[in-house]
Structure 1
Amino acid sequence: MTSSPIPTRVVLLTGPSGSGKSSLAARTGLPVLRLDDFYKEGDDPTLPLVAGGSDIDWDSPRSWDADAAVAAIADLCRTGRTTVPVYDIATSSRVGREAFDIDRTPLFVAEGIFAADIVARCGELGVLADALCLRGRPSVTFRRRLARDLREGRKSVGFLLRRGWRLMRAERGIVARQTGLGAYPCGKEEALGRVAAAAAGRCRTPRTSQPAAAGRPSSP
């Protein structure tokens, strides 16, 4: 009698922008789906604005295509492959599409600042292994985020400074929101331990809660 194939599952990795999600995901050695590639394009009329300003609010989940992200995760868990957009943050546009194949790997990581917003949906699909929220000191996150964004030329300096100060003040609320959506708050080493446990088949699927209202990801 042949054994059933091991089902593929996903670890959702979230946290404030600059918290170290990408570097931690790379350290796991697992395939990594970049959820930032599912941002809407800059000319999309549904993009939200920062309250009281004219900047696009790229930190609102309404700036992101959750349906497309969930569909890609479902494809990977079902078939091991999907097609994803290639997103250029500097120009706020999709510049192509590419194949993404995880072969027969039974676990992969999907990382991005909106990963917590799809915890419940991945749980309902039966593909969720764990959901983690990286947390740290807001001042450290601010410096790391600004250095990265300036190095990569993601947006204008003025925009990055305004966004950076706003996110630093809101960071604790961002973590609280992501935790409320079902992501487990932890540091990098604990996160790596939980990913290792999921890879070994000791999944600790988080308790999901009701999604928060769409809009700003943090408390006022």
Structure 2
Amino acid sequence: MPTPVPALVVVLAGPSGVGKSRLAARTGLPVLRLDDYYRSGDDPALPRIATGANAGLVDWDDPRSWLRDGAVSAICELAVTGRTVAPVYDIARNGPVGTHVVDLDGSGLFIAEGIFAQEVVAGCRAHGVLAAALCLRQHPLVTFWRRLTRDLREHRKPPLVLVRRGWALMRDQRRVIAAAAAAGCEVVSAPEAEERIRGLNRR
């Protein structure tokens, strides 16, 4: 039988702006921010948008703009050792600006959340560190407004780019959720997810 690991991860997926970070913070559990594993803006491997108003710009909503293997390695290191050094990514600068330590401090459960979180589900399951994989859902217009106000507040990209991107993401939200479900995530509302996580934490 496989050797049990000291800690397990709850993978929290969902469209940008759906409230993953907010929910993760409410649980009080240690959190690994998977969005910190984006590629640097000068990485030649970055995918580009082929058509439409944003043609030629980096497609930050394509999983190829993100370092899946690095994220899975960090999750496994946290589960086994209780500690990892993670990058700090500045979206406005399109690159990492340093590192920070994520320490479980003895917790047997932690959360890994991000826009591409569903991409780590198979790897976490294969390594025996997965407690649950959840994908948040809410009304697309609510997601659009929350995402836009957050991105404008944080000056993540020029306003026109944010509006165009937000509109495209709103139209694509159903597909994103379906893809997360196909990757092994259970689709739930934020209250349902919080209840599931708190139940896992009591075990």
TM-score, with length taken from structure 1: 0.87
Residues 142, 126 of structure 1: CA spacing in aligned structure 2 closer, same or farther, 3 A cutoff?
Answer: same
Equivalent position SS for 2:99: strand
Cα–Cα, structure 1 residues 5 and 46, in superposed 2: closer, same or farther, change >3 Å?
closer
Which residue is 2:7 aligned to? 8
Higher RCO (C-alpha under 8 Å, 6+ residues apart): 2
Equivalent residue number for residue 130 of structure 1 = 132
Q: Deviations over 1:13-67 (max 9, x none)?
A: 0100000000000011101110010000000001111231112111111000011
RMSD: 1.3
Structure 1 residue 200: deviation in Å? 2.2
Aligned mates of 1:51, 1:133 — CA distance in 2: 28
Gaps of 5+ in 2: none
Aligned runs of 1:25-174 on 2, under 5 Å? Answer: 25-52=24-51, 53-174=55-176
Task: Flag structure 1 segments of 5+ consecutive residues without an equivalent.
Answer: 202-220
Task: Supply the distance in 2 between the matched residues of 1:162 and 1:10 (Cα, whole angstroms).
Answer: 34
**Mapped partners of 1:103, 1:143: distance in 2:** 36
Structure 1 residues 39 and 6: alpha-carbon distance in aligned structure 2, compared to 1, 3 A threshold: closer
Output the amino acid matched with 2:60: W
* Residue 149 of structure 1: how far off its partner (Å): 0.2
- CA apart distance, 1:5: 8.5
Letter aligned with residue 168 of structure 1: M
Aligned residue pairs: how many? Answer: 198
Q: Which string of whole-angstrom CA distances, capped at 9 and with x for unpartnered residues, describes residues 131-159 of structure 1? A: 10001111110000000000000011111
3-state DSSP of counterpart to 2:93: coil
Q: Deviations over 1:156-196 (max 9, x none)?
A: 11110111011011000110001110111010110011101
Do the aligned residues in 1 keep the contact of 2:18 with 2:137 (CA within 8 Å)? yes
Which residue number in structure 1 is paired with residue 17 of structure 2?
18
